[in-house]
Structure 1
């Protein structure tokens, strides 16, 4: 890609956002969040101008990348409590969910890439160290950091042969990689791909920091009990389905609708009103978590409606908020992770696997090494139809020993991969990157 085509891409991106904003909530938030952005950054950074600690800037595309980078950020805070942390997001789903995160001193949207925006943002933030999580490469921001010799680390990078870096038209993308001081990648395969490019940037296989994050959550860093969830589950067997799309729900609804004795917790990936209504149409005996919150656990104890064919209390709880999912898997007998029936592939299987539960998902997993490895370890189970889902659920629920052994394989896989955070922190310490 030439710089001319990159500018054309940026122009079309901005125009596209403006065109769809009246009908698309995310696009509207993207635009609104950037109105007056530089004035806000200037005001916030000015109030902290007298603080002398180093400034660490971490950029994340969205919420998933934040959770990936979070262990490094929080360990840096412990190692250097005087540092100031600036967190930026490109996507509204990340910013709106974590705008009140207490672990950062300042949280901003990243301005759309341009030479002027990159210079202005970096002039105001004045970072001493920059952490870029996984991807979201923006040419002018990366080039400006390189010009100023500001240490720039890629965290938990993952590379595949079909990416632009490895294509004949990927010269601009390859140059962006040269802007980094060090590339920390998840796998040996990623390192080998990068070696083909003959980069001058050093590459280290550090592993994936998400393993450290999910282990921290499961170990009790966020162990606040969810009393309403526990009340809904009762003593029943529970299937927790997280990050689901309509394609996933269509594979699960028949089983839920025909097994009133099993509790289902469904956390859709998108929680717009339209999506929630879709989920309610598919799962006929359901209630929303917000309704349970409003009415209290007592609603679960009410007797069922009388009459022939009467169904007991709702057996499906629809989660209509963001932020609970990583703790919901704790209550599962079996977990299901969505996305595996869509083109983009399965979502984060580690959040479920860390609790030592079987993890079921659809067949589109080839882009996600952790899902492939989890399957190979015996902790992950692939289904390709509603009939297959029914067979897998019945087999695990009717055979507690197999269910336990599959869950143990999941937990062992996750714990075998921990340590990426420590490797990155050691590099920062050894190279004295947290000094002004």
Structure 2
């Protein structure tokens, strides 16, 4: 069965190379893996390495609290981080915490072997749901302790189907699972996986760290002073259409910070033309009169989590499409109530925050407008819903500490 899987990976390589001729993101995906061979030649052989793998930016943020804790507790180790997607790699390749950042090698025995021979990691951490069969088998064969952190499982996954034997076998290669929810823990136990702990989601620790270490943007107080602000984070066209219809019909006394998911020039120009005027691009904020501005268009990645600090309420994108809901914990950490679309079933934090009274699902425009009007017309109610969000984050801290407690015990056991 493994030979067939590897053959399919080789077929996928050919297909992706052809598609990469027409798609810039796939082209970066290919080029990054082609460059990996040369990057590995410069790796020091005299270091002790721990490997973290994240699919993309969101998973990197999930793994970051554990990376930081390991760096603090075990400074002799160096950290290598790999990404599956170009978006995660491009944004975080120069992050100061990891000592090395690469694309994940192709999941073939020889590509994985080259990577492991180079780094010889003493431990490997995979974040949320990364299961690469050749990679996992190679880690297991080399007896490298392998951990899944902030894992999330659903009954619809192949592991839990009658035809999922090949995939279930890969789960046996993990040393320990740290999962987000009791439901995920029970799913694993039902198929005989007992080395699992429900530790929670490390993103709660991550967003709290953003609050604790908040660095303000110079001059931004001029924009917010005496005004209430709505921050729209990682929004797609459906959220944008709802916002602009609401602005047109209700003309709310708000200022707007809009951070779209799409940052290509055409999308930014279209969005800017529709935003309340005067509109200032975030990248040009130093040259503008922020006090007079009615809206800010965030045309640069990497700043959204801090921008929520300047808001009173938030809209988070992804809930009206199939790409996935974006991070609702970031605005909640700063005490903002949140509106999302109805497609959030794969994100348990959404249902939990809705139940806590800090998040509101708007399946259509009428529900969207009603939720916003509640906050626009009643500032005290907006603040109460925001406090619900803030308390929700506070009450879910501690996943990183649980992982580190186990890890300290584990390292003590294997070194004695």
TM-score tier after normalising by the smaller chain length: over 0.9
Residues 368 and 263 of structure 1: CA distance in aligned 2, closer, same or farther (over 3 Å): same
Structure 1 segment 365-380 matched on structure 2, within 5 A: 365-380=344-359
Choose from 272, 275, 296 the match for 2:267. 275
| 1:336 equivalent in alignment to 2:330 | no
Paired positions, count: 413
What is the alpha-carbon distance in structure 1 between the residues aligned to residue 319 and residue 253 of structure 2? 26
1:288 aligned partner: 281
Kept in 2: contact 1:256–1:283 (CA 8 A): no
| 1:119 equivalent in alignment to 2:109 | no
1:246 aligned partner: 237
Kept in 1: contact 2:202–2:398 (CA 8 A): yes
Q: CA deviation at 1:284?
A: 5.8
Structure 1 segment 348-387 matched on structure 2, within 5 A: 348-387=327-366
Please report the TM-score for the alignment, with normalisation by the length of structure 1. 0.90
Kept in 1: contact 2:6–2:107 (CA 8 A): no
Structure 1 segment 179-328 matched on structure 2, within 5 A: 179-199=173-193, 202-219=195-212, 221=213, 223-257=214-248, 259=251, 261-283=253-275, 285=277, 286-293=279-286, 296-298=287-289, 300=290, 315-328=294-307
Q: CA deviation at 1:405?
A: 1.1
Residues 55 and 435 of structure 1: CA distance in aligned 2, closer, same or farther (over 3 Å): farther
Please report the TM-score for the alignment, with normalisation by the length of structure 2. 0.94
Matched residue of 2:363: which SS? coil
Q: CA deviation at 1:360?
A: 1.0
- Relative contact order, higher structure (CA 8 A, sep 6+): 1
Matched residue of 1:23: which SS? coil
Q: CA deviation at 1:261?
A: 3.7
Kept in 2: contact 1:232–1:297 (CA 8 A): no
What is the alpha-carbon distance in structure 1 between the residues aligned to residue 57 and residue 383 of structure 2? 31
Kept in 1: contact 2:276–2:294 (CA 8 A): no
Q: CA deviation at 1:338?
A: 0.6
- 5+ residue gaps, structure 2, are none
What is the alpha-carbon distance in structure 2 between the residues aligned to residue 379 and residue 93 of structure 1? 29
- 5+ residue gaps, structure 1, are 302-312
Per-residue deviation, residues 174-231 of structure 1 (Å, max 9, x unmatched): 11211110011001000111112113x5010000000000011112x2x211124433
Deviates more, 1:34-43 or 1:332-341: 34-43
Per-residue deviation, residues 374-429 of structure 1 (Å, max 9, x unmatched): 00011111112233222211211221221111111111111111111011111111
2:46 aligned partner: 50
Deviates more, 1:66-75 or 1:20-29: 20-29
Q: CA deviation at 1:132?
A: 0.7
